[in-house]
């Protein structure tokens, strides 16, 4: 509450200050420049440069000058079945991670919002996946999945469910196995965002609904979900993007194997750029990835927002 | 609101399930780190090492230059955190207090930058840094990490600035304090805890980072801890499990400790940044 009121007050203050300060605002430039220069040189600039590179035949370590080749990279990409296979895997991975991530995080957030004992422990443990270096998360799960020394196969053996298998190098099991790791690694952020959203839902409304005899399920759909929906949409959209762009986890777990079954587009483009030195071609891949992701995301958001109007 | 006993039991069962899911991989990592090579080679591994040993830690330091890598990581993370906070705080202040076009553009960049695919940025970044002769250098990596940490740092800092009532600054101005004086002696002290939390978060982000370090650092002497950790995994994907687990455990400790300190502030900051005015 205090944060909100303070924000409102300072916002009014900001408008006043704005009116008074703008004419002589050389000071503001002085405050902004130290951040602006690195942003322009190392973020905005490279992004634009990257888009231009996609239309050239740039390669690493070549002596001849780089030339414009128009849309040739994109034409090649269109027929590059390996790339589209990798793209398909990337989409499977992004959706396969983001959806369970959201459902599990929602469950955990709802539990943490209750007055349960051991809540502090869950909060403390949720730090682990969030704070860990991605490389270590990958290493850790390699140990879990290890065919001989791993805890997963040993547990299966103890339960009499067969001898287990080599999860990360099986053609059928590799992608599901890395998806589980992705879900584990991203759950805490999503939980925290949803929990914050839950704590902003009006308690009184909840109690009133309970008085009227609404069951837990009904209370969730009529009171909690409408208040939570904007947060849920935002975090899911972000998760989709982040997961589609993920690299380190799968690089450590499988390096894209077996037989390319877990070769996410980022891994593919990385190999193309820094393994084979095809800078222009890899940049074109990046452009296609941005374009497709933006379109999918726009469709997802528009669809969700529409669905909300009907409800 | 009362929940039925059955409901309560169900809730505790679910919570227990989450606790196990969240904790077990880490416990397994710790357990593996203390097992002897003989035990790791045998079937039927146990949760508690049969005869716990520190050999894996010793061997890890023998096999890979972990201390030097940790030093490199520390330098990169400290540099990135300090510079990120120094350049982000003034910009966040302007973004929170002024509604100029520039402030709006900065906010737009913070949002859009989350969607940048790294591939599209890393190639030109590599070329730009190569031209500046900053490939394979700590300085180049720190610059990249600063920009990389900026969106989240700005997001959090804007929230913290907004929580400082503008009336306080106005009161100081009425009392005759100049603009700089007001910022330094009124605003800055109130912002300090938020600035520290933001800096520590930037520290963890840089300490954990892998992709940029992998691409930008070529020689082993320059490489950071996450990159060196991957050297424990051989070309065929065969890893020396014990030392790998030991080194990974050590590499995680700083992140866990720092994160535990700032957890509350981070979650609070995310919310504060999200409050629209």
CATH number of the domain that residue B89 is part of: 1.10.3720.10
Q: Does A31 reside within a domain?
A: no
Q: CA A279, CA B25: separation in Å to the nearest integer?
A: 38
Helix axes B138-162, B188-208, angle to 10 degrees: 140
Q: Which of B25, B96, B215 sits opposite A141 (nearest CB)?
A: B25
Q: For residue A127, list chain B residues with Cβ-Cβ distance below 8 A.
A: 256, 259-260, 263
Q: Which of B119, B239, B259 sits opposite A270 (nearest CB)?
A: B119
Percent of chain B with pLDDT over 90: 39
**Using the beta-carbon criterion (under 8 Å), do B248 and A44 form an inter-chain contact?**
no
Residues B44 and B72 in one domain: no
Q: Does B207 reside within a domain?
A: yes
Q: How confident is the model at residue A4 (pLDDT cuts 50, 70, 90)?
A: very low
What three-state secondary structure class fits A229? helix
Instruction: Locate the chain A residue with the closest alpha carbon to B91.
Output: A32
**Using the beta-carbon criterion (under 8 Å), do B128 and A140 form an inter-chain contact?**
no
Q: Does A64 reside within a domain?
A: no
Q: How many CB atoms lie within 10 A of CB A45?
A: 15
- A–B interface: beta-carbon pairs under 8 A: 320
Residues B240 and B190 in one domain: yes
Our CA dihedral for A281, A286, A292, A294, rounded to 10 degrees, sits at -150
Q: Does B120 reside within a domain?
A: yes
Segment B171-187 shows an average pLDDT of: 83
Instruction: Mutate one of B22, B173, B194, B268 to test the A interface: name it (highest A CB count within 10 A).
Output: B22
Instruction: Locate the chain B residue with the closest alpha carbon to A247.
Output: B211
Which of A215-219, B203-207, B272-276 is modeled with the greatest confidence?
B203-207
Handedness of CA A26, A27, A32, A34 (dihedral sign): positive
* Tokens describing residue A185: 């690694």
What pLDDT sits at residue A25? 59
Q: Does A42 reside within a domain?
A: no
pLDDT tops 90 at residue B71: yes
Q: Does B38 reside within a domain?
A: yes
Residues B42 and B162 in one domain: no
Owning domain of residue A154: 74-310
Residues B133 and B23 in one domain: no
**Using the beta-carbon criterion (under 8 Å), do B123 and A279 form an inter-chain contact?**
yes
Instruction: Locate the chain B residue with the closest alpha carbon to A215.
Output: B3
Q: For residue A118, list chain B residues with Cβ-Cβ distance below 8 A.
A: 12, 15, 19
CA distance A149 to chain B (A): 6
Least confident of A53-57, B108-112, B134-138: B108-112
Q: Does B223 reside within a domain?
A: yes
Q: For residue B164, list chain A residues with Cβ-Cβ distance below 8 A.
A: 6, 10
Q: How confident is the model at residue A310 (pLDDT cuts 50, 70, 90)?
A: very low
Residues B68 and B47 in one domain: no
CA distance A269 to chain B (A): 7
Q: CA B142, CA A277: separation in Å to the nearest integer?
A: 24
Owning domain of residue B70: 64-274
Q: CA B204, CA B227: separation in Å to the nearest integer?
A: 15
- Number of compact structural domains in chain B: 2
Residues B112 and B213 in one domain: yes
* Partners of residue B239 on adjacent β-strands: B233
* Tokens describing residue B216: 């930008």
Percent of chain A with pLDDT over 90: 35
**Using the beta-carbon criterion (under 8 Å), do A131 and B252 form an inter-chain contact?**
yes
Segment B87-115 shows an average pLDDT of: 84
Q: Does B59 reside within a domain?
A: no
**Using the beta-carbon criterion (under 8 Å), do B251 and A136 form an inter-chain contact?**
yes
Instruction: Locate the chain A residue with the closest alpha carbon to B49.
Output: A149
Q: For residue A100, list chain B residues with Cβ-Cβ distance below 8 A.
A: none
CATH of the domain at A88: 1.10.3720.10
Please give the ipTM for the structure prediction: 0.89
Least confident of A301-310, B8-17, B229-238: A301-310
CA distance A37 to chain B (A): 10
- Number of compact structural domains in chain A: 1
* Nearest in space to B25 (alpha carbons), one of A173, A187, A264: A187
Provide the whole-model pTM.
Answer: 0.86
**Using the beta-carbon criterion (under 8 Å), do B117 and A43 form an inter-chain contact?**
no
Q: Which of B40, B94, B122 sits opposite A149 (nearest CB)?
A: B40
Q: What is the pLDDT of residues A258-294, one digit of tens each?
A: 888 999 999 999 999 999 989 999 999 999 988 888 8
Q: Does B58 reside within a domain?
A: no
């Amino acid at each position: 509450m205090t944060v909100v009121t303070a924000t409102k007050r300072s916002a009014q203050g900001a408008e006043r200050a704005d009116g008074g300060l703008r004419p002589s605002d050389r000071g503001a430039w002085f405050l902004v420049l130290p951040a602006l220069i690195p942003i322009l040189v190392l973020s905005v600039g490279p992004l634009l440069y990257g888009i231009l590179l996609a239309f050239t035949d740039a390669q690493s370590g070549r002596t001849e000058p780089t030339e414009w080749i128009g849309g040739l990279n994109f034409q090649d990409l269109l027929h590059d079945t390996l790339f589209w296979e990798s793209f398909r895997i990337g989409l499977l991975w992004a959706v396969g991670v983001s959806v369970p991530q959201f459902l599990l995080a929602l469950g955990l957030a709802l539990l943490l919002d209750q007055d349960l004992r051991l809540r502090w422990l869950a909060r403390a443990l949720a730090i682990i996946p969030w704070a860990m270096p991605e490389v270590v998360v990958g290493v850790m799960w390699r140990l879990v999945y290890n065919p001989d020394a791993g805890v997963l196969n040993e547990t299966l053996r103890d339960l009499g469910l067969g001898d287990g298998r080599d999860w990360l190098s099986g053609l059928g099991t590799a992608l599901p196995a890395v998806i589980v790791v992705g879900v584990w690694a991203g759950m805490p952020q999503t939980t925290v965002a949803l929990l914050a959203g839950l704590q902003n839902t009006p308690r009184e409304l909840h109690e009133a609904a309970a008085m009227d005899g609404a069951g837990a399920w009904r209370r969730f759909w009529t009171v909690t979900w409408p208040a939570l929906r904007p947060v849920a949409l935002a975090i899911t959209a972000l998760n989709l993007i982040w997961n589609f762009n993920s690299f380190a986890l799968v690089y450590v777990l499988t390096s894209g194997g077996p037989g390319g079954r877990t070769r996410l587009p980022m891994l593919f483009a990385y190999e193309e750029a820094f393994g084979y030195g095809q800078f222009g071609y890899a940049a074109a891949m990046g452009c296609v990835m941005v374009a497709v992701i933006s379109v999918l995301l726009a469709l997802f958001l528009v669809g969700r927002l529409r669905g909300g109007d009907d409800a | 609101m009362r929940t039925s006993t059955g409901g309560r039991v169900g809730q505790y069962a679910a919570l227990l399930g989450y606790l196990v899911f969240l904790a077990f991989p880490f416990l397994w990592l710790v357990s593996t780190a203390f097992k002897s090579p003989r035990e790791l080679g045998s079937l039927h591994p146990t949760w508690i090492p049969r005869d716990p040993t520190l050999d894996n830690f010793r061997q890890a330091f023998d096999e890979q230059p972990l201390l030097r890598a940790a030093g490199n990581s520390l330098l990169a993370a400290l540099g990135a955190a300090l510079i990120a906070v120094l350049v982000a705080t003034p910009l966040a202040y302007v973004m929170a207090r002024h509604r100029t076009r520039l402030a709006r553009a900065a906010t737009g960049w913070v949002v859009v930058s989350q969607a940048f695919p790294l591939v599209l940025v890393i190639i030109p970044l590599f070329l730009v840094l190569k031209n500046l002769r900053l490939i394979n250098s700590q300085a180049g990596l720190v610059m990249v990490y600063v920009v990389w940490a900026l969106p989240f740092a700005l997001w959090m800092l804007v929230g913290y600035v907004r929580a400082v009532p503008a009336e306080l600054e106005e009161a100081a101005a009425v009392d005759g304090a100049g603009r700089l004086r007001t910022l330094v002696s009124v605003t800055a002290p109130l912002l300090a805890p938020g600035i520290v939390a933001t800096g520590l978060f930037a520290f963890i982000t840089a300490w954990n980072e892998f992709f940029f370090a992998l691409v930008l650092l070529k020689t082993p002497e320059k490489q950071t801890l996450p990159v060196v950790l991957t050297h424990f995994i051989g070309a065929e994907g065969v890893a020396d499990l014990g030392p790998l687990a030991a080194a990974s455990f050590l590499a995680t400790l700083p992140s866990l400790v720092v994160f535990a300190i700032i957890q509350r502030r981070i979650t609070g900051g995310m919310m504060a940044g999200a409050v629209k005015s």
